Structure 1
């Protein structure tokens, strides 16, 4: 691995970056050894690039990219020529090459030269047949084993380096929520609200944003992409904001009323706030994801709304975030033990007949003392009547 201060690929890594690169490589090679793998191959289709980003810290634009991890080398491959230069310049890999089907020659040559026979493939389940044939053709008798869960487990615990990136994304979340409340007024279309928020997020340097919204009263059953519906006095507007900054996604879920909240809207918020607080209180190293979800769901059961914890009305009580926006662990029906350093959002988002679908939740990091929130936005029901939050 390149050392700090030594320029071998047009970029000099800082001491902190070198330590992070070596830390990630060591984690992956330990996982390889535990599973008896000769090599790891991270595959990135256009919509699941988190493992390649983890190994390169580079934004990839290709329809397909790979990173090959062996005992003594890390190489990157992309089907997009424009990716090769930033990959080479990143300083995170020893070499980067362009590849194309049918033979994916550079990748095939690297696999052949590695002598690997048991190859763990991240996102093997998504690997196109053409690439599978090229890999098997390069290494006669190769055994391809899914390493998707291996990569998920390795990425679940965030390093201090990663948490600094995620804290930057948290600041963007806070600013985006402020923009959301500040712009809200009767007569605006959902898409106009989202456009304002997107503009602020991009102004702050975010690479991307995944955002859902819903407006209305107790008839709202869930959130969707922004529509042409115009908000009205008495509405509650719900949103899930998920900006990506420095490769890392971070999410906040909040609701705001157009005008003063009704008694039903306030009671709904209090129910969801209590459920989220119960989930946060359950977090500690060694707890399972399912136990966190159960703590949230028990609040609904206590108040007589247990039926709305089913998959008829909701999906999960939270999920991991990091280099992917909806990743391991899922906080519902998942008995994965959550270690210190894991990050996820706790959100008891669901429908109840009190005031319709409601969203409320914050992303947390697991510490030795429990959950630490990454966002600073107040945990309350907001109103458009408040004006600016500044």
Structure 2
């Protein structure tokens, strides 16, 4: 299902602006041609530079945008049978289709055809290039290309209006999906049936993809993929719902109880909610993410759970999952600094020995006043009666 028309004026305007910004960055870096590669895996933990520049979700294993500093870009698509769909969805009009085995040779021939073989070339592949492609560029191009991944990621960190339109639609799907889960889950159902129902529902709302973890236990050690376990009264059900619209993934993290939550469960979830709000308040432009991590961990450590705020009990306090940039990672080791307009999920998901693992997380956008939730309401400890 395609939610938005290819000729949506906002879509066309934002893609044109993206191209202009990339060209400005190329001039500053001394690059004359950018090759933006896409591998077709569409992972929510990896950027896709070609999709970000063209608006085209590939089905084949390779595509590449050849973007000269002046003149029209070209899009190389694999396999040949996907050319018609590329011409319908891509904002790039010059399309060349080939079979996957001929991909690198076609890139070389297109550069030659356009008189760009001797240009200074940079490549962005989103850190997801297959080994043969990554290692094949010097021979294909006749030079070792510059690495443009970080430069493109830096440009994409601040979401444009098209990205935000898609993101907000994905948030709406995620929230409706969680409401559907609460309304349609009962003790005696298999985990995988509940997860399958949720998957089907978010797809029906227009999600083109959905990364989903969903599991339940009386005392969860973590969240994981659904199994054939039967749900029971008193179970704590965990849901990480991550739909995508036009390649833009967004995530909500939720916790609910089959029955009435106990006072202890309410108390410990409230601690995580306090931690989340502290992190959101601290998350302003120019702030190192390590400061945000410290703000999130403070209420948890104060409550006596400092041991559980580090691996192996906790890996990260949030992360981006953007089509154009995977920055920032909200972890002490990342070294990232927040920028205004960036979007990511912030989640103090946490194992608590008294109650088990709880999930608590919101998609947020960075503003001068701190991180603002993109959801219509902050997550609460749910109850399934």
| TM-score after normalising by structure 2 | 0.90
1:158-192 C-alpha deviation (Å, 9 max, x unpaired)? 01222111111111011001011111211111111
- Per the alignment, residue 388 of structure 1 pairs with none
SS in 1 for 2:304: coil
Contact 2:213 2:239 in 1 (8 A): yes
- Structure-to-structure mapping, 1:137-152, within 5 angstroms: 137-140=139-142, 142-152=143-153
1:9-55 C-alpha deviation (Å, 9 max, x unpaired)? xx983543332122101111122223222222122223246212111
SS in 2 for 1:234: coil
Unaligned runs of 5+ in 1: 1-10, 386-390
Shift of 1:280: 0.8
1:189-248 C-alpha deviation (Å, 9 max, x unpaired)? 111111111121011111111100121122x22111110111111111011000112221
- Structure-to-structure mapping, 1:275-314, within 5 angstroms: 275-314=275-314
Q: Distance in 2 between matches of 1:82 and 1:287?
A: 48
2:168 aligned with 1:167, yes or no?
Answer: yes
- Per the alignment, residue 158 of structure 1 pairs with 159
Q: Distance in 1 between matches of 2:379 and 2:90?
A: 41
| TM-score after normalising by structure 1 | 0.89
Q: Distance in 2 between matches of 1:259 and 1:89?
A: 50
Q: Distance in 2 between matches of 1:247 and 1:116?
A: 33
- Structure-to-structure mapping, 1:194-343, within 5 angstroms: 194-218=195-219, 220-323=220-323, 327-333=326-332, 334-343=334-343
Contact 2:48 2:125 in 1 (8 A): no
Instruction: Check 1:308–1:118 CA distance in 2 against 1; reply closer, same or farther (3 A cut).
Output: farther
Aligned residues: 372
Contact 2:281 2:369 in 1 (8 A): no
- Per the alignment, residue 177 of structure 1 pairs with 178
- Structure-to-structure mapping, 1:358-377, within 5 angstroms: 358-377=358-377
Contact 2:276 2:346 in 1 (8 A): yes
Q: Distance in 2 between matches of 1:336 and 1:127?
A: 23
1:48-90 C-alpha deviation (Å, 9 max, x unpaired)? 4621211111221111221122112321112222332222233
Higher relative contact order (CA 8 A, sep 6+): 2
- Structure-to-structure mapping, 1:16-55, within 5 angstroms: 16-48=10-42, 50-55=48-53
Unaligned runs of 5+ in 2: none
SS in 2 for 1:101: helix
Q: Distance in 2 between matches of 1:128 and 1:384?
A: 45
Segment of structure 1 superposing worse, 32-41 or 336-345: 32-41
Instruction: Check 1:247–1:154 CA distance in 2 against 1; reply closer, same or farther (3 A cut).
Output: same
Instruction: Check 1:201–1:15 CA distance in 2 against 1; reply closer, same or farther (3 A cut).
Output: closer
